Chains A and B, each alone.
Chain A
Amino acid sequence: MTAADKNTSKGKAGKDKATDGQRASWRLLAVAWFIPGSGHWLLGKKKRAIVFAVVILCGFVTGVLFGGEIGTPKPQSPFSWLAALACLGNGVLSLGRLVWLNGVGGLLHGFPFAIQGGGNPSDAGFAYGNTFLYTAGLMNLLTILDVSDIARGQKD
């Protein structure tokens, strides 16, 4: 039985799987980014999916509750792009928070430098909140790499 046969025999879970040496489906990776844990769920790794979803959600909610700011690009501040990338890793959580703060119109018109990320730098929990938001986003980005490895047959 070839790797392709094994993948097709797994039904829906195997639909987005790539054979050895191939790239993982970009749709699978996009879904894995957008909804934390969903990539593992689609590949049949349900226990891991639930744990990742819960951990990332807890990290994100803690960050928001402690007054963290969703990273947004700021002029004359190149490192703010890194913060924005880390926070964007949260997928729908990050986008939902930005829509909550700016509205869809504000988000579109304010892109990229006039988007509000929430939080107040003078709050005691600001730095802690940011840390949780960045950590949650980066963890979700790592799960995307993990989904890619699993889909390509590089990992169980």
Chain B
Amino acid sequence: MSLTARTPASPAEPETQTTGSHPGTTTLLPDDPAPIREHAARPANAPAAPATTARHPTNHLAAPSGDATEKGPVAPVDLLRFNTCGSVDDGKSTLIGRLLYDSKSLMEDQLEALERSADLTGGGQINLANLTDGLRAEREQGITIDVAYRYFATPRRKFIIADTPGHTQYTRNMVTGASTANLSIVLVDARSGVIEQSRRHTAIASLLRIPHLVVAVNKMDLVDWSQERFEEIRADFEKFLPRLDIQDVKFIPISALGGDNVVSLSDKTPWYTGPSLLGHLETVHIASDRNLQGLRLPVQWVNRPNRPDDPALHDFRGVSGQLAGGVVQRGQQVVVLPSGITTRVKAIHTYDGEVEEAFCPQSVTLLLEHDIDISRGQMIVGLDDLPGAGTELSAKLCWMHPRALTAGRKLLLKHTSLTTQAIVSAITHRIDVTSLEPGDAPDGLALNDLGEIRLRTATPLIYDGYKTNRQTGAFILIDPASHATLAAGMLLPPKALVRPDEDGDFVI
């Protein structure tokens, strides 16, 4: 090995990987006071202590994961992706700034930059929103114009935040940020209560089937921490929730500016008995959100080493992809669609060796028993839970382009790893974004409109309803000339599933 190369000394054990991922936790003292407002006194950027339901900072390390750096098996650190939405002045960016600041994920140079800009424009007041408003136009206009991604960690979880703008005209960015989220935070200004934007964002979260929703009632300081006001807003919200399709909704009274109930619980809301916002984010159960029902492997790439001279490789013909649903096991019978050929999984290859089984969303390479013609855009599925297939499709759509969609337009459609031509045969109706009720669409679908459409594709899609599978039920539309991304589509459940004929062949 050359002098310039170094390699870590010992292989990492699974247990030490987990503990090793947060060496910073060792710097947390049991009496670590939180939240600390004076950043000069903070103990570096050690991940924040788990935000528990405890009102007393001294109880912070009483949480189960507080001893994550100690020996013994601990739960692996997982990842929660969430987005924040609200209207222009609801304080989204301030809330994110607060989460980063109080969880000690902000660095000194970032704070210095904030302080510099505070001196320049903020009259000395630090503006936490400047942390996420990364583009010059945003800082100048004081708005957020695009999805910004932020990262922070606590000993319990790693987090990816998508900060999505609240202006009506930027709904496409909210759909973008929300499409990969496990959880959505809708910010409501305690003074103005539930407004059209709140309903709109909640409806989009429902449409995109984000499993968890948090309604953060912000600026509680401006309504004197009134429990009555909080309950009023909750009741308003709950009035339209039954029309939506969200399983898990939590209401939390906060002040993002002051940090109350954001990382730790505030003594200003003794009537509130739930967790702090971060406490909820750290503990909300997301493991069962993943789709382990029905094996789906869209073929991304055919792995064929061109090595006729290598006996181990000259036969190797792998099918590579990321599982979009279910579990695949060695020896399992599978069918390749749309060709309909049935075969078995001979081996599941990964760079780290062969495995007995793999699950969604792992990336794998399958070796199949028969040497069949297979290529990108096809899908390997299990026999027990078959998908739909067809060229005539119905879908809900979020239109994202200034030029309105009208029936008859020819477009490109990308679904899993397949891109095919599609024609919009009909716009069934427009969906009212605040109520999700159907309405007329005489002029087609305009920018930021939601609607229901019928489509015909040149190649059959192998798909599930979006309700069943967020990956095999989703597609995007692309302008064949400009290549702009025009729309996000969510397929309605297939009317008929793929079925074997009397010979046991799958014909669609």
Chains A and B come from one and the same complex:
no
Residues of B within 8 A of A (CB): none
